[in-house]
Amino acid sequence: MTDWKAAFTTTFGAPASAVSAGIWADVYGDEYPAELDTYSFVTRTDLRDIVAGARLEPGGRLADIGCGRGGPGLWVAARTYATLTGVDIAETALASARRRAEAMDVEATDFQIGSFSDTGLEDASFDAVMSVDALLFAPDKRRACEEFARILAPGGRLLVTTWDFDGQPENRPPQVPDHRPLLEAAGFDVHSYEETADWRARQRRTGELSLERVAELAAESGADPAKLRASIELTLRNQDLMTRRVLIVASRP
């Protein structure tokens, strides 16, 4: 199994890929939030849905777990006038997120090391917790749901995009067929569990274009083209085990 902390630390230690950004723009068109340097399948519609579902008041406290380079959380914080705490396992991602916060002129931000099982955040200290396309990497999804519940204040809102799986993908942490039982066991009321638009075709097309442009991607990052090809092919095979990409809206009573 890949050491994900090491892998993401390397990924985010390099500049965002211009070739990948071009592929995402081709596939997602206006839905691709190019200015945020995302490392995910997040769309502008997802981001707007997260803002609506979070119900944050100005000055509200938002956490983004698995924040990567910080773009999605900063976008939501900027629109809701919330304070933002981003958490990730990769210090290189956090360094990039801090620079982005300055560039986007979003004040009252904090980016710190932590994981889904141990965020390092205080009990009941957030009005909303979001996580974009990262829960897939949590080794223990039940523990992650309990951690979301622990850090949310009563009435706090949870907004997550992630995938349900029918089977265990290769070289990935254990997956689940449905996140709702785990969320309910952790004490959440699940308000909505909606498939995101056209997710399968878009992800497949992104993978296919990445294969077509694998030489450019490898040249850009200095990766071995054969290893990069194998990794894209594995991602495509694993996508066949995904049954849905969902945007989850839940709250803690």
Ligand X SMILES: C[S@@+](CC[C@H](N)C(=O)[O-])C[C@H]1O[C@@H](n2cnc3c(N)ncnc32)[C@H](O)[C@@H]1O
Judged by CB, which is closer to ligand X: 138, or 217? Answer: 138
State in angstroms the smallest separation of the CB of 252 from ligand X: 20
Phi, psi of 201 (to 5 degrees): -65, -40
The residue sitting closest to ligand X, measured at its beta carbon, is 68
* Least distance in angstroms from the C-beta of 92 to ligand X: 9
Nearer to ligand X, 127 or 133 (CB): 133
Helix (H) or strand (E) holding 123: none
Closer CB to ligand X, 90 or 145, in the complex: 90
Could you tell me which of 102, 97, 133 has the C-alpha nearest to residue 12? 97
Q: How far is CA 107 from CA 78, 88, 89, 102, 244, in A?
A: 9, 19, 22, 8, 35
- Tokens of residue 177, six digits: 């067929």
CA 169 to chain centre: 18
Question: Rule CB under 6 A: which residues touch ligand X?
Answer: 4, 8, 38-40, 42, 65-68, 71-72, 88-90, 93, 115-116, 132-134, 137-138
Q: Which is nearer to ligand X, 39 or 148 (CB)?
A: 39
Residue 135 or 249 having the CB closest to ligand X: 135
Least distance from C-beta 62 to ligand X, angstroms?
13
CB of 96 to ligand X, least distance (A): 10
Q: Measured between alpha carbons, how far is 117 from 54 in angstroms, rounded to an integer?
A: 22
Say how far residue 149 (Cα) sits from the centre of its chain: 18
- Residue 54 or 138: the one with the smaller Cβ distance to ligand X is 138
Q: Which residues contact 167 (CB under 8 A, 6 or more apart)?
A: 175, 241
Question: Minimal distance in Å, beta carbon 184 to ligand X?
Answer: 22
Question: Residue 47 CA to chain centroid, in angstroms?
Answer: 11
**Considering the complex, what minimum distance in angstroms separates the CB of residue 40 from ligand X?**
3
